[in-house]
Structure formats: C-alpha cells, structure tokens
Structure 1
Amino acid sequence: MLYEASSFDMTTVSRPVHFWQGTDDKLVPEPSNRMVAERTPGAIWHLISGGGHVIALIQQDAILTRVASDLAAVPT
C-alpha cells in the first residue's frame, strides 16, 4: 500500500491534519484515507457526499478558508 511504503510517518505530525474525502472517489477509496486519518493524531475528517477524487477543486473555498483559519491560529 502506498501509505505504508512512504517514509513519512503521519503519527509524528503535531498539528491538526484535515482529510477531505469524496464519497464517490474511485482512485483513493474512503477506507484507504480513513486508515491514514485514524493513525494521524489530531486528524479532522471531512466526508463530502457525492465528491470524487478532485474534491479540492469542488471544495476549494471551504478548504482554503479552513487553511487560512488554521494558519491564523498558529502562534508566532
């Protein structure tokens, strides 16, 4: 599996990580992403009904709004 072969260990991430998953994604099915999210501390799951693999294009406003909010909360 791609995630297991990766040298990047998601369990070491110390900030919240958002996972956006479309219910109709045929390239990366929900169980694959859900497994990674469950192993990631602070994971925040966003399931988008009817969304496909390019969910970021459809949900870009919501995703960028969330990113901006999260970055604004980072202490300097």
Structure 2
Amino acid sequence: MMPAGEFSTLGSTYVGGGYFEWGVTSSTVYAKYQHYSRTHRATACANGQTQCLRSGNAAPSYLANAVRAKSKSNNTAWWAVL
C-alpha cells in the first residue's frame, strides 16, 4: 500500500501502473484507484491511519473507491495493487 500523504484539497497521478485520485471535500476524505491489468484497492483515512475505510478488491479496469468522514487533520489516502 502506498500513501498519497496529507493533503488539503485533491490530487491525481499515475502511479503503480494505475490512476490514483484523492481529496478532501467539506465533509469527507476519499481515494479512488483504477488499474487496468491487476486487482487493486483504495483506502481513505481520517486521523492518520486510525480511522480508515478500505474499498473492496477491484478487478482489473474497475474503479476502487473509498470514502469516509474527514477529520480536522491527518486525512490520508492510499492505493494498493494486489
């Protein structure tokens, strides 16, 4: 699993062979990851890594999406290729 790090609004990048998007809205933190040839997942965390919600394992080409309530700080997002 790889982190996006702490962020203030949103970001996106191609990483690990797939496309990763992350962000914080007015009430949530989210992570989205899509890989076209491998099973993968996404994780969104509040309060560092203490309050995380992980997507299910997504089949190749399907979007892995994780969304949870944000905290005041230490919101992070992660991707993983399985």
TM-score of the pair, normalised by structure 2: 0.22
Which structure's residues are more often strand, by fraction?
A: 2
TM-score of the pair, normalised by structure 1: 0.23
Which structure's residues are more often helix, by fraction?
A: 1
